[in-house]
Amino acid sequence: MVIAFSFTGVLRAQLAPSASEIDQKVTSALSSLYANNPKAKQLGGMAKGILVFPDIKKAAFLVGAQFGYGALRKRGRTAGYYRTSAASYGFQAGAKQFGYALFFMSQSALDYLNQSGGWAIGSGPSIVVLDQGAASSLSTTSMRSDVYAFVFDQQGLMGGMGLEGSKITQITPSS
């Protein structure tokens, strides 16, 4: 098992995308999310920042791992680059690819991301994961969470979908 995770780390480091590749994928993913979900676009206009991970890969057979790269956008511009990763164990098998966007609605939540040196989702600011149904009933008067998450572009087959336990770390990609 240690060998598998060591290999995953080496593979991830060798395949790390450049800043321009991350920016291109983030722009495309955010445009697609906004086109398919008007509520996401509305939240984007009110958010203090949006952290987008456009291409996360997850695979498991009893032991699972996921990782991906993304960028934090503030007022339409990239303000930093991040990696998300998670490990899990238990009865699971499959592979999937997906993306997610975190909409930071409060300055304190955004400050936590920037000052924590890495954020383990499930600790720190509260997150509400929105699907199409939950998003449609959201209004400016009912929004009380620090962070809203939209999962998008799911492909592949694997039981369960959760962000809790994911670790988000700021990175400096190559130019």
Can you tell me the mean pLDDT for 20-36? Answer: 97
Percent of the chain with pLDDT over 90: 47
Tell me which of 43-57, 128-142, 149-163 is least confident: 128-142
Annotate 43-63 with three-state secondary structure: HHHHCCEEEEEEEEEEEEEEE
Higher pLDDT, 86 or 130: 86
Can you tell me the mean pLDDT for 55-71? Answer: 89
Asked if the model's pLDDT at residue 104 lies above 50, the reply is yes
- 41 with 64: CB under 8 angstroms? no
* Token reading at 51: 């952290």
- The residue extents of the domains of the chain are 17-171
How far is residue 32's CA from residue 169's CA, in Å, rounded to a whole number?
25
- pTM here is 0.82
Asked if the model's pLDDT at residue 22 lies above 50, the reply is yes
- 65 with 165: CB under 8 angstroms? no
Altogether, the residues listed in the chain come to a count of 175
Greatest C-alpha distance within the chain: 50
Asked if the model's pLDDT at residue 32 lies above 70, the reply is yes
* Other C-beta atoms lying within 10 Å of the C-beta of residue 61: 9
